[in-house]
Amino acid sequence: MNPLSWRREHRISWLAFSVAGALIGVLLAWLDSPYRRLCQSTISGERADCAQMLSLWLTHPSQYWQMAALCAVIPAVAFYGFQLMRRAA
Confidence (pLDDT) at 89? 66
Residue 45, by phi and psi: left (phi above 0), alpha (psi -120 to 50) or beta?
A: left
What's the Cα-to-Cα distance from 1 to each of 4, 26, 83, rounded to whole Å?
Answer: 9, 30, 9
Q: Which sign, positive or negative, has the C-alpha torsion 74, 64, 28, 32?
A: positive
Domain spans of the chain, in order of start: 8-88
Residue 53 backbone phi and psi in degrees, to 5: -65, -35
CB 47 within 8 A of CB 53: yes
- Per-residue pLDDT reduced to its tens digit, 33-86: 988 888 888 777 776 788 888 999 999 999 999 999 999 999 999 999 998 898
> How far is it, in rounded angstroms, from Cα 82 to Cα 2?
14
